[in-house]
Each structure stands twice: as C-alpha cells, then as structure tokens.
C-alpha cells in the first residue's frame, strides 16, 4: 500500500475497497464538538411542564392575552345586525337577486353550495370519504392487530349482548328508526326547496341507521349495507358528483353552449343538477356516519 497524496488517489483507493483515510474521516475525527451556548438555550418545554403551577400560569397568561386582543377587536367591529356591514356586500346581493334565475333553487344556501361553489362541496365529500378510510385503517379488526386479552373481552361482550334483551330499546327503535330515516330522506329530497340538504339529511339517515344497528345488532344492517355496498355507494356517488359538476370543463368554462333545464322553481323536479347532487352527498354522508359507528363498535363495516 503506497502512499497516496492527492484527493483523487485516495478516492480511487476507497472505491476499490482499500483501507484508506478520506479527508472527511480525518475531519470528523479531529473536529471539535460544538459547545451548546448556555446563554442562548431556551428553557425546554418538558422542564416547564414538570412544574405544574408554572405551566398552568403560563397557559392562562397566553390565553388571556389572546382573549384580550380579540375582545379589543370585537369592541371595534361594526354593530351586530346592521345591514350596511362590510360583510354584506355585492356578493350577497348577486346570490339573492340572480340566484333563482341562475340555479333554480328556492333555498339560496343550497343553490350557493351546490351550484356556484359546487367544487367546494366536492372537496368536502372527499374529506368525509378520506376520514372514513383513515378510521378504517386505524380501527379495522383483523387477525394482525388484535391481542389475546382483547379477543377475550370481545367474546365476553358478545356473550353479554346475546343475553341482554334490550326490550325498551328494541320497541323504541322499531317504531322510531323508520320515521327518522323517512324524515332524513325527506330532508335530502327537499334540499332545494326547504332548509336542509345533503349534509343534514344524510346525518339524520345515518342517525336512524345507528339507532337500528344499536337495537337489533349489526347483522340486521349488514343485510343491506355490507362493506361491498358501502364501497360501491361511496365511490359511485363521488364519481357521479364529479361527472355532474365537471361538465363545464368539457363544454368550456362558464356553462357555455350547454344549459340544463331548470324547471319551474318550487317544484320537486327543478333546479338542474342540485337534486341529484343532494342525493349523492346525502348517500355519502349517511354511509360515512354509519361507517364511523360500525368501525367504532365492531371494527368492521
């Protein structure tokens, strides 16, 4: 092993696998450890947190400072309920005056969120779908993420459930859940005519399904909503929504050259795409709410 002087020679030797010392190794061996500067080091969070009283005091202080700043801002805000507030500007006037003509929906809020800002709502349906997928990943009960103690606990719970008659709950659910689900469907279908719409109606339908499942067990709901149907409904509704609202991309922006029949405002079959979109959103929300419940109790849909 002859002496190597230049950097290139050393590098060649190192690549060939010889035992050599690179500049970097020398530097690492020789360098001085940087000393932590005492006067610059901020107090660590753990140290403060170990002193409970100091931590509480600091938290209350920070929160109070925030509240004081926001209170000063609120005391300078324009008066509550005044028609000439800066928030009530030409955007609102446009929505209220041209809304029925352009969207055909009597409920201005439904016309706004499902026609003017429909992509907003599409993103939100995606958020719901993503949330249920994340919960599915975290809580799905399969052979790999279950311990023996838990299995025993689940078996005990199921045995207790089988003995428990739940008479009051079952009688209540038998008469209440059809009414609740029917009301939810009414709210979804009348979303463009009266208060409500996809989100609220879907949550009500989901609540009815939860009541039914709590009283009669998961098997009774699984007859019509198992994992397969759940996936089909969610994905199908998201794709339908996308197809309905992306027509303005395919036909040129701003609905040029393609008008959907609006119908007579006030009739159930009116308002263009708002009714199908409401149904899509309602189905997604109902599936999501029931999916949360099923995953939280049984660990499977």
Q: Which of residues 263-282 bind another protein (CB under 8 A)?
A: 265-266
Min CB(293)–another protein separation in Å? 6
Min CB(227)–another protein separation in Å? 17
The residue (of 76 and 142) whose beta carbon lies closer to another protein is: 76
Measured CA distances, 97 to 100, 101, 108, 112, 185 (Å):
7, 8, 10, 12, 29
CA dist., res. 58 & res. 142, Å (int): 45
CA dist., res. 255 & res. 116, Å (int): 12
Q: What string marks each residue from 63 to 92 as x (binds another protein by CB under 8 A) or -?
A: xx-xx--xx--xxxx-xxxxx-x-xx--xx
Contact 236, 131 (CB under 8 A): no
Q: Which of 103, 113, 185, 274 binds another protein (CB under 8 A)?
A: 113
Q: Which of 152, 159, 179, 195 binds another protein (CB under 8 A)?
A: 195
Q: Which of residues 30-59 bind another protein (CB under 8 A)?
A: 49, 56, 59
The residue (of 40 and 160) whose beta carbon lies closer to another protein is: 160
Burial call 189-228: b when 16+ CB within 10 Å, e when fewer:
bbbbbeebbbbbbbbbbbbbbbbbbbbbebeebbeebeee
The residue (of 13 and 109) whose beta carbon lies closer to another protein is: 109
The residue (of 19 and 101) whose beta carbon lies closer to another protein is: 101
Q: Which of 196, 215, 225, 283 binds another protein (CB under 8 A)?
A: 196
120 is an interface residue for another protein by CB under 8 A: yes
| Number of Cβ within a 10 Å radius of residue 112 | 20
């Amino acid at each position: 092993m002859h002496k190597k002087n230049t950097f290139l020679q050393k590098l060649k030797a190192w690549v060939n696998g010889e035992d050599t010392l690179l500049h970097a190794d020398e530097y690492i061996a020789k360098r001085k450890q940087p000393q932590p500067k005492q006067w610059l080091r901020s107090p660590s969070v753990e140290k403060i947190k170990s002193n409970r009283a100091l931590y509480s005091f600091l938290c209350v202080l920070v929160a109070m400072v925030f509240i004081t700043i926001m209170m000063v801002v609120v005391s300078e805000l324009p008066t509550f309920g005044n028609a000439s507030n800066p928030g009530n500007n030409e955007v609102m006037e446009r929505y209220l005056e041209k809304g029925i003509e352009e969207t055909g929906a009597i409920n201005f809020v439904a016309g706004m969120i499902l026609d003017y800002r429909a992509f907003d709502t599409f993103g939100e349906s995606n958020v719901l779908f993503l949330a249920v997928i994340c919960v599915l990943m975290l809580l799905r009960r399969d052979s790999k993420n279950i311990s023996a103690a838990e299995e025993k606990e689940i078996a005990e719970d199921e045995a207790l459930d089988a003995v428990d008659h739940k008479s009051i709950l079952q009688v209540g659910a038998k008469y209440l859940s059809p009414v609740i689900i029917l009301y939810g469907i009414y709210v979804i279908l009348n979303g463009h005519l009266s208060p409500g719409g996809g989100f609220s109606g879907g949550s009500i339908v989901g609540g009815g399904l939860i009541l039914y499942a709590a009283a009669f067990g998961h098997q009774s709901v699984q007859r019509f909503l198992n994992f397969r149907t759940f996936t089909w409904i969610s994905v199908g509704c998201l794709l339908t929504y996308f197809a309905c609202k992306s027509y303005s991309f395919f036909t040129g922006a701003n609905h040029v050259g393609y008008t959907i029949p609006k119908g007579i405002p006030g009739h159930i079959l009116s308002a263009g795409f708002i009714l199908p979109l409401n149904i899509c959103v309602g189905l997604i929300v109902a599936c999501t709410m029931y999916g949360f419940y099923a995953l939280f109790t049984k660990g499977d849909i």
